[in-house]
């Protein structure tokens, strides 16, 4: 009988250690958490697409249009990079929430 109690006790300790180690996983990276609620992204949308001129008669018109397209493409790239950063931080936040939930579950199971 004593041997069964020791085996049960060792199994319980081992299970507790495993659950505790799983519950303390760390999440690194940026976060979007605010004080009151989860914020929307603050990325600046690009200006409207440049409109191709109906008729181009001079080189300067071509150059101006190409500059507008280049500027728009740069704004699009910056916008997408900003959105990617926001989404990555949101994923980190979800991981942190999941870690805390798992930690609470492990704590409750130890009782």
Q: Which domain holds residue 91?
A: 2-109
Distance CA 43, CA 65 (A): 25
Q: Domains in the chain: how many in total? A: 1
pLDDT-based confidence at residue 22 (cuts at 50, 70, 90): very low
**Residue 54: predicted pLDDT:** 82
Q: What tokens were used for 30? A: 């940026």
Per-residue pLDDT at 12 exceeds 50: no
Encoding tokens for residue 8?
Answer: 């049960």
pLDDT digits (tens, 9 = 90+) for 66-90: 999 999 999 999 999 999 999 999 9
Whether the predicted pLDDT of 24 surpasses 60: no
Model confidence at 33: pLDDT above 60: yes
Mean pLDDT of 10-28: 50
Mean pLDDT of 13-41: 63
Tokens 């081992």 belong to which residue?
A: 14
34-70 pLDDT, tens per residue? 677 888 999 999 988 998 888 888 898 889 999 999 9
**CA-based nearest residue to 94, from 27, 47, 34, 43:** 27
Measured in whole angstroms, how far is the alpha carbon of residue 27 from the centre of its chain? 11
pLDDT reported for residue 38: 86
């Amino acid at each position: 009988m004593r041997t069964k109690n020791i085996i049960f006790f060792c199994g319980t300790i081992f299970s507790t250690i495993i659950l505790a180690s799983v519950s303390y996983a760390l999440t690194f990276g940026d976060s979007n958490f605010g004080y009151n609620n989860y914020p929307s992204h603050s990325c600046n949308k690009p200006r409207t697409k440049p409109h191709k001129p109906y008729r181009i008669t001079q080189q300067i018109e071509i150059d101006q249009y190409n500059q507008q397209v280049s500027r728009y493409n740069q704004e699009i790239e910056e916008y997408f990079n900003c959105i990617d950063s926001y989404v990555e931080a949101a994923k980190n936040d979800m991981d942190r929430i999941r870690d805390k939930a798992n930690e609470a579950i492990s704590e409750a199971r130890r009782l």
